[in-house]
Structure 1
């Protein structure tokens, strides 16, 4: 089971992958995620590249009305893949964190996204002010 910090890192990674599609940051995201998921296995890396390319193609072909729903679905899918990676290879967290920073630095400012996790326990109440799209809960993490 992943810690909340690693779950947040995987979510940030999923967001970075989908956010980078159709931007100048795509090559950085594509190569970095494929390398991470491949873990030194060329065939696994090639398989990841194929899946990443399908993601970019799906986003590019999506109609405007359904594009955000598709992006959310794909972000959940990539988050799930990165969660599996971190469960099996927790040492990859540092590499993933660095990749996310590189990708976010290359994104146009309007497309940068952040993940913030807030946990209230034992009846505690949190008052949080945020802007932009706010996704609460967990989505499907099918691969």
Structure 2
């Protein structure tokens, strides 16, 4: 069972992988992620590389209204994969953390931020699970 910190790291990794897909750092990021999963096995590395190649294609093929849904699904898929990787190989924590920090430093902020708009009317009830800052309205919290 993973700690909450490792679950959050896997989620940050999923976000980083998808966020990097449409940037200049994609090829380098893709290679590092594939090596992380391959752990020295060229066949595993190649298999993951092929899976990673699908991310930009899926994003490009998605029509404008579906792009955020596709992005979220891809992010969730890679979060699960990274969670499983950390469960089986907890010693990869530092490598994944370094990769996430590298992508965060290189990817423009808009590609690291996901916006979820939720509207409720009448007597509707919504249950939402989220981590990080929640901004209500259009003013961000200042430190």
TM-score interval, smaller chain: 0.7 to 0.9
Q: 8 Å contact 1:28–1:103 — kept in the other structure?
A: no
- 1:60-119, CA deviations, whole angstroms, 9 ceiling, x for partnerless residues? 1111100000111110100000001100000000000000111111101222249xxxxx
Rounded Cα–Cα distance in structure 1 between residues aligned with 2:24 and 2:11: 21
1:26 corresponds in structure 2 to 26
Structure 2 residue runs of 5 or longer lacking an equivalent are: 115-131, 137-143
Q: 8 Å contact 1:22–1:56 — kept in the other structure?
A: yes
1:122 corresponds in structure 2 to none
- 1:32-61, CA deviations, whole angstroms, 9 ceiling, x for partnerless residues? 110100011000000000000011210111
Q: Which has the higher Rg, Structure 1 or Structure 2?
A: 2
Structure 1 residue runs of 5 or longer lacking an equivalent are: 115-127, 133-143
Indicate whether 1:14 and 2:14 are aligned. Answer: yes
SS of structure 2 residue aligned to 1:70: helix
Distance 1:129-1:59 versus aligned 2 partners, 3 A rule: closer
Alpha-carbon distance, 1:129 to partner: 5.0
Q: 8 Å contact 1:16–1:113 — kept in the other structure?
A: no
Rounded Cα–Cα distance in structure 1 between residues aligned with 2:135 and 2:12: 17
Aligned pair count reads 119
